[in-house]
Amino acid sequence: MKTTLLITSDTGSGNRSQTKVSNAMYETSKRLRIPPEALCLLGDNIYETGVTSVKDPQFKHKFEIPYKRFDIPIYLCLGNHDYGNSHFDDGRWKHQIEYTKYSRKWNMPSRYYHKQFGPCDFFFLDTNLDMMSQQEIRNQLSDVKNMIRKSTQPWKILCGHHTWRSVGGHGNAETRVEDFLKELMSERDYTIDAYLCGHDHCKNHHQVTLPCKRKVHTIVVGTGGKNYEPHMKYFYNLVDDTHMHFHSPNLGYMTWEARPTKIRIVFYDQNNNREHSHTLKKHKKSKKSKKSKKSKKSKKSKKSNLGIIYNEKE
């Protein structure tokens, strides 16, 4: 059985760009053989400085109205603009979590959480690590690892707002996010298949080789409501561990069609022109590889890199 999702990010502008992408996604949702189970929005849900209360009218104008035709749940995570796009945390992100109780579509039960979609376990992260204390980061890291270890589905997908690898204006992750994501992805007792995000207002599809030699797909789709900055140079952020499959500066979104052994991703622009497609495949593990994995478990795991990052004042 196939499970279908619609995915985009950086949506909450309330302008024509958001409406165009919303309309394009809705049209696609009606022509797919298997209707989408949900829509995922990967942060910057309300531009430019988030909301000030659960009754803030921006929820209506930048979420409820643009997605009024959708009759499916919408799952979200927090972006930097949802924190107010400032250098201090005044707690305004909490209103977005609370809004889950008031909206029929909006789903954000906590700062980070797990949601199963068919054969995929999605782990929605809060990648605004610069707004957290050292202990809050450690708690998220520990909690998410435990969620992933309990996963029973073949596909394990991380979703956050900030880029890990990107050729857009924000570029690759800063050190704290880089090490946080790598630690989640490098555990020996589970395998992460992909990291989905926004932040850069473009679409990217890369495959990254981790130091442990695993390969992880990283997908940027920050094109749900903000236009690409045309003065930005393309491709200046590519690094040696990254292979680029695709880049587009156009508004748009992605469809995600998942089966237990493969996932088909397709990128569209705001006019529903197909820009790129790719199939992720899940190979069955041999008995030999299972035995090898079991022997590795007995080895002591490496100490976290994050101790280095956390040696700064909270």
- What stretches of 150-233 show up as alpha helix (H) in DSSP? 175-185
User: Mind spelling out the 3-state secondary structure of 119-145?
Assistant: CEEEEECCCCHHHCCHHHHHHHHHHHH
* pLDDT, position 229: 78
Task: Answer for the pair 260, 282: CB distance below 8 angstroms, yes or no.
Answer: yes
- What stretches of the chain show up as alpha helix (H) in DSSP? 16-31, 58-59, 93-98, 134-149, 175-185, 287-297, 306-309
**Which residues lie below 8 Å from residue 284, measured CB to CB, with a gap of 6+?**
261
Burial (Cβ within 10 Å: 0-12, 13-18, ≥19) of residue 313: exposed
Please name the amino acid found at residue 138: R
* pLDDT, position 303: 41
Provide Rg for the chain, Cα atoms: 19
Residue 312 has pLDDT above 50, yes or no: no
Q: Phi and psi dihedrals of 3, rounded to 5?
A: -115, 130
- What stretches of 232-302 show up as alpha helix (H) in DSSP? 287-297
The two three-digit tokens of residue 80, written as one number: 């930097």
pLDDT (average), residues 207-223: 96
Question: Which DSSP symbol is given to 302?
Answer: P
pLDDT (average), residues 26-37: 97
Using one digit for the tens of pLDDT, what is the confidence trace for 243-292?
999 999 999 999 999 999 999 999 999 999 999 999 999 976 644 444 44
- Under the banding of pLDDT at 50, 70 and 90, the label for residue 191 is very high
* pLDDT, position 233: 56
* pLDDT, position 48: 97
E strands in the chain: 3-8, 38-41, 74-76, 106-107, 113-117, 120-124, 155-159, 194-197, 203-209, 215-221, 242-248, 252-258, 262-269, 274-281
* pLDDT, position 234: 54
Residue 45 has pLDDT above 90, yes or no: yes
Using one digit for the tens of pLDDT, what is the confidence trace for 159-176?
999 999 998 888 899 999
Domains of the chain: 3-309 (3.60.21.10)
Average pLDDT of the chain, as a whole number:
90
* pLDDT, position 302: 42
* pLDDT, position 170: 86
pTM over 0.75: yes
Question: Which DSSP symbol is given to 240?
Answer: T
